[in-house]
Structure 1
């Protein structure tokens, strides 16, 4: 969850107040819940009963995953944004896209220092990692420049780290 996602939902709640869908007291309670949300399910829960206010825009937004000396994992069903920024320092980021809701093109911007990023792509997908600059690290791309859908476009820098890209068979 990023602060931008939380702020986006608060802006949708603000629209709901303007349309008379919720009261100011309810807006305050829902805003508190949205700002404290840890998962997308928590975040979307404040919008579910508001017609036309379901937060579908999150799938089209930019999400930043920050990780310092820890592990970040996304697997199972999750909504993948069009732009995904991975900032990883001395940690591990594991992203399994095989059961995720993935847009046709995903731009992945890497900023990795002494960390590991593992990407498991869906069957039939493609990837281009030509825009990744490796310094004292390693890129293990088992799908390199393939043609398919969805397409993952990687760029950024890896300093003393490892990026592993695999595709589910």
Structure 2
């Protein structure tokens, strides 16, 4: 089989997306051109599809492990390795890591929230509902490293939030939740970087409606 006809993985799509981000930073692509090429990347099925978005970018090269090469022969005696867990935690009391690639990540109900939560996402839909969550600490730090995703954070009544530590590039970050120093049952601090995505921190719609009616 011709190497350019080999199927690509989500990791390869993500890597090419990172290369296109670098090209934008170096002034080789406009944001409009970047968006068009990312549409091609996300729809790519073969390595030939991926290569076409990089051929005219000097100095932008894929890492060796992602370069087209002949597929290895299958050896019956080889055993498949176990896949890494989709949402690994670093251990009791450590950060909770949520990782998604072209995925939908949802946490709601009575899920346990670590003091530090790390989002490592690419082209995903992320919904974190804290309204019934079980907290270990009053202050929760959410560290974001994201590209092309939509992140929604839903907080209970009297919760506060601070998103001043979020760096946005061709993105939006909005909050409808009171800021300032923590004084209620939960204070969420969001930091990190979002590239071509959006972050929204809010209360449930019914709670916002009641506040509006009561003039709060």
TM-score range, shorter chain: 0.5 to 0.7
Greater strand fraction, Structure 1 or Structure 2: 1
> 1:134 aligned to 2:148?
no
1:61: how far off? 2.2
- Alignment match of 2:108 (pick from 75, 88, 103): 75
* CA deviation string 1:147-168 (max 9, x = no partner): 5331111100000000010124
1:99: how far off? 0.5
- Counterpart of 2:98 in structure 1 is 65
Query: Do the aligned partners of 1:73 and 1:95 also contact (CA within 8 Å) in 2?
Result: yes
Query: Do the aligned partners of 1:129 and 1:144 also contact (CA within 8 Å) in 2?
Result: no
* C-alpha separation in 1, matches of 2:151 and 2:192: 13
- Counterpart of 2:198 in structure 1 is 162
* C-alpha separation in 2, matches of 1:37 and 1:78: 17
Structure 2: gaps (5+ residues)? 1-83, 208-216
* CA deviation string 1:103-144 (max 9, x = no partner): 201010011101011000111111111000010000121115
* CA deviation string 1:12-49 (max 9, x = no partner): xxxxxxxxxxxxxxxxxxxxxxxx98899xxxxxxxxx
TM-score (norm 2): 0.50
Answer 1 or 2: higher relative contact order, Cα 8 Å, separation at least 6.
1
> 1:143 aligned to 2:185?
no
TM-score (norm 1): 0.63
RMSD: 2.4
Structure 1: gaps (5+ residues)? 1-35, 41-56
Query: Do the aligned partners of 1:126 and 1:143 also contact (CA within 8 Å) in 2?
Result: yes
* CA deviation string 1:67-94 (max 9, x = no partner): 1101010011110000000011001111
Query: Do the aligned partners of 2:104 and 2:124 also contact (CA within 8 Å) in 1?
Result: yes
* C-alpha separation in 2, matches of 1:39 and 1:159: 22
Structure 1: 4+ residue segments shifted above 6 A: 36-40
